[in-house]
Structure 1
Amino acid sequence: MSPKQSKQPDDGSRLKIRVQPKSSRNQVDGFEGDTLRLRITAPPTDGKANVGAIALLAKTLGVSKSRLEIVKGHSSREKVVSIETLTEPEVRLRIESAIKD
C-alpha cells in the first residue's frame, strides 16, 4: 500500500461514493446521507466503471483526474475516493452547486 493510500493528505478530503455502472448516461444523482451516488455508462469490467467514476467526479468538482484516487472499494459499488486540494465542505459545495445547474 502506498503512503498516498494509507494516509489522507493534509490539504485534501475523502468522499464515499456509490457507483451504478451500465447506466443510460453519466450523472451525479446527489447525496444519500454521506454517500454520493453516481451513474456511469461504463460496464463494471476491467476497471472501466472506476475510470468513468473518476472522470465524472473530476468534471463535477472542476479538478484534474490526477487529483482523485480510489483508495477503497476498487471492485465494489461502494468506494472511497481521496481528493487532493479540496476540503470536505468545498467538495460538498461544488457537488451541490453542480447538481443545481
Structure 2
Amino acid sequence: MKPGSRKGPLVETSDDGLIVYVRERAVDGAANAGVIAALADHFSVARSRVEIVRGHTSRIKHVRVEK
C-alpha cells in the first residue's frame, strides 16, 4: 500500500503481489478504506466483498476478495 500517492487510486501487479496506490492518508482508517475501494474496482466486486484480514496498521496487508 502506498498512502498519500498522487498516482492513486491505482492497482499494479509486482512479483511480490499487488501494489495499491491511494490518495488518502493513513489517518483514521482513510487509507484502508481507499485500499478497499481500489481493490473492489480492480476486481469488479462490491466493497463489501473486500476485507483486510491482517495488517490494518501496516503498509503490507493481507486481503480477502470474494467473488
Aligned to 1:56: 38
Q: Cα offset for 1:26?
A: 1.4
- Report SS of the residue matched to 2:38: helix
Q: TM-score, normalised by structure 2?
A: 0.91
Q: Distance in 2 between matches of 1:34 and 1:66?
A: 25
Unaligned runs of 5+ in 1: 1-18, 86-101
Q: TM-score, normalised by structure 1?
A: 0.62
Aligned to 1:70: 52
Q: Cα offset for 1:83?
A: 1.1
Query: Does 1:27 find its partner at 2:10?
Result: yes
**Number of matched residues?**
66
Runs of 4+ aligned residues of structure 1 deviating over 2 Å after TM superposition are: none
RMSD: 1.0
Does 1 or 2 have the higher relative contact order (CA < 8 Å, sep 6+)?
Answer: 1
Structure of larger gyration radius: 1
Q: Cα offset for 1:66?
A: 0.5
Letter in 1 for 2:54: K
Residues 60-93 of structure 1: CA deviation (Å, up to 9, x unaligned): 11000001100000000000101113xxxxxxxx
Q: Structure 1 or 2: larger helix share?
A: 1
Q: Distance in 2 between matches of 1:82 and 1:54?
A: 10
Q: Cα offset for 1:52?
A: 0.2
